[in-house]
Amino acid sequence: MSLQRVASLETFVNVSEGRNRSRQGSVSSIAASERARKLTFNPLPESWHPAFDEDQDGHLGQSRGAFEVPRWKRILQVGVTVVLCLFAAGVVFGYAALKPVLKKEGAYQEICNGGDTCVEIHLNLMFTVAAVATNVAALPIGAILDHYGPRVCGIIGATLLTIGALCMSFAKNLPFDAFLAGYLFLALGGPFTYISSFQLSNAFPRHSGLILALLTGAFDASSALFLVYRIIYGKSDGAFGHHKFFLAYLIVPVVILFCQLTILPRRSYKTVGEMIEEIEGPVFNDPSAVSDAVNVDDQVDEQTALLREEQREHHEHVIHDIEELLGTSRVDKDEQAQREEAKNERSGVWGVMHNHTAWEQICSPWFVLVCLFTVVQMTRINYFVATIRPQYHAIFGSLDKAIEINNFFDLALPLGGIISIPFIGVILDHTSTVAVLTTLVTVATTIGILGVLPYTWAAYANICLFVLYRPFYYTAVSDYSAKVFGFRTFGTVYGTIICLSGLLNFSQSALDYLFHRTFNGDPVPVNLLLLTLGLVIGGCLVGYVAVQVRSLHRKRDAAVGYLGNGHGEY
């Protein structure tokens, strides 16, 4: 059930009591009884709007139009959310910078009796669990967001971040593996803050792309938080240890909680489609009920006429506000439609699985191949983040060289995500899906080759490609899912891809064991294994999509030729 806008208290009475009204009796008698109960004054303050009663039916996930909120407040909401994401969204992916600090602080030393390999495996497991949780959590977070709204998600995120920070701070004094638990809670708190912020792109529909880019950039840049901490830790000669840092980090969830309760929206903003429906559809639950009843009763009094005029003016006012927000002039609509049509045609795969059920889509090669490719690439990405220092220590035989490369990576990772944002959209919108997938496989293969070469230039080139590839890959997978499977099942299909890939990321622990124990600290065999898997599966994906695209083009050309010859006309 959706919340309804009402123009007067009488309208509210009609809407609310209409649900419990007996079906017996004529329409005219109903109209007469409604007029008899009509209030001649409004006992409620003018600022009270029953249409915005957010607790109706206990369902807090109802959306509201951005035109109902002042522009200055929407700007403030976007700005505040970007800052909050900068400090909370993806901090766990700055693991490469935090790891050496935790090792110096003696993490897992008691369990491992000083064994460096044992400590390395335990810390990497901590990151693996966090990375898996970040991906798997997307499904339940989406359900909570849909039903309870962004404010509840934000409060849950702040709570999880608080628990995570406390566990990390007092890890050595707790009777369980508090490092793993704390990092897990930090990983869960980030998506609650980040995913619930996507709806703010609807606060300014004409600038939704810019807002999403800012949020994505904040997510990527948030991994730099632990880099900044590591620098402060070094400057303080270890005086500002992880205990003090994570206690200080408690400021972040406190600020998130304050902003959620005061500034940020309780309900999600309506999408463009929902606002267009509001323009084209009725604004009230049954706006013709009163007027129809009055026509039957043939007693149109002055109050009824005023009510109908009030409804008409309110409807026109809402339409004007929505069109001003969307900038929906006829020229804008035509140009946007042409651009979208050209982009979809250029992709070559648009709509190929749109008319199938979610289960049919998941069982198709379109899904299976991209899911397998995502599993391999996500595992490679997170494995590299977790083991970059020991890998290059083994390749170059120099700890100083490994630390130098690690430091460059810590700085390049957030910068790469920010720098790549404006180019990713251009590439995805102006190239075919086959070209995008070919680029993904080619770059992934190049990264794999550079990662096993014992040259300094190869190490830095590998990192530069990696930090640009990572955001491009994740965006390309979501773009592929939208174009191939459609938005009707997007949440289910894309969520399943990320969820399965996240769960299978537990294979990182096996790769860690192979690296440190089976191959005695040699990273090359594991990297070659991941390189081969990625190349084989990626090649199958590109080949399958290319064949299907050619088949689709032949069918379309044949259909155009058939119609061009005059067939199919009546």
* CB neighbour list of residue 194: distance below 8 Å, 6 or more residues apart: 85, 88, 89, 90, 215, 219
- Report residue 522: phi and psi, to 5°: -95, 115
**Cα(303)–Cα(10) distance, integer angstroms:** 11
Biggest CA-to-CA distance, the chain:
95
- Which distant-in-sequence residues (6+ apart) come within 8 Å of 57 by Cβ? 1
- Residue 258, classed as helix, strand or coil, is helix
Return d(Cα 399, Cα 458) in angstroms, integer.
Answer: 17
What is the rounded distance in angstroms from the CA atom of residue 148 to the CA atom of residue 153? 8
The single residue listed with the structure tokens 């600038």 is 207
Instruction: Return contacts of 543-551, CB within 8 angstroms, 24+ apart.
Output: 544/365, 544/366, 544/369, 545/349, 545/366, 545/433, 545/434, 545/437, 546/434, 548/349, 548/352, 548/366, 549/348, 549/349, 549/432, 549/433, 549/434
Interacting residues of 1 by C-beta distance below 8 A, sequence separation 6+: 56, 57, 59
CA distance to 122, 347, 508, 517, 519, per residue, from 125 (Å): 5, 39, 8, 15, 19
Handedness of CA 221, 223, 229, 235 (dihedral sign): negative
Dihedral (CA of 541, 545, 546, 548) sign: positive
Q: Which residues contact 158 (CB under 8 A, 6 or more apart)?
A: 189, 193, 253, 254, 256, 257, 260
**What per-residue confidence (pLDDT) applies to 12?**
33
Dihedral pair phi/psi, residue 49, rounded to 5°: -120, 105
Distance CA 131, CA 160 (A): 15
pTM for this prediction: 0.71
CA-to-CA distance for 193 and 168, rounded, in angstroms? 19
Q: Is the dihedral of CA 551, 554, 556, 562 positive or negative?
A: negative
**Can you read off the two tokens belonging to residue 376?**
């391999």
Question: What gap in Å lies between CA 522 and CA 206, rounded to an integer?
Answer: 52
Give how far Cα 77 sits from Cα of 65, 192, 545, Å: 15, 16, 41
Give me the pLDDT at residue 554, please.
80
Q: State which residues of the chain have pLDDT below 70.
A: 1-67, 206, 208-209, 270-344, 487, 491, 557-570
Separation in Å, CA 121 to CA 48, 398, 410, 497: 59, 20, 20, 27
**Two tokens, residue 128:** 């693996």
CB-CB contact of 290 with 175 (8 Å): no
pLDDT in tens, 283-327: 444 445 444 544 544 445 666 666 666 666 555 555 555 555 556
Nearest to 126 by CA among 242, 273, 280, 254: 242
Tokens standing for residue 465: 């490609």
Contact 499, 138 (CB under 8 A): yes
3-state secondary structure of 37: coil
Q: What is the pLDDT of residue 31?
A: 38
**CA 205/CA 272 separation, integer angstroms:** 7
Q: What is the Cα–Cα distance from 568 to 570, expressed in whole angstroms?
A: 7
Q: How far is CA 194 from CA 81, 176, 218, 410, in A?
A: 9, 29, 9, 21
Quote the crossing angle between the two packed helices 365-396 and 490-503, to the nearest 10°: 40
The reported pLDDT for the residue numbered 269 is: 74
Contact between residue 408 and residue 199 where contact means Cβ atoms under 8 Å apart: no
Mark residue 114 as left, alpha or beta (left: phi above 0; alpha: psi -120 to 50; beta: remaining): left
* Alpha-carbon gap, residue 353 to 427, rounded angstroms: 23
Give tens-digit pLDDT for 131-169: 888 888 877 887 787 788 888 989 999 999 999 999 999
535: CB partners within 8 A, 6+ apart: 441, 444, 445, 448
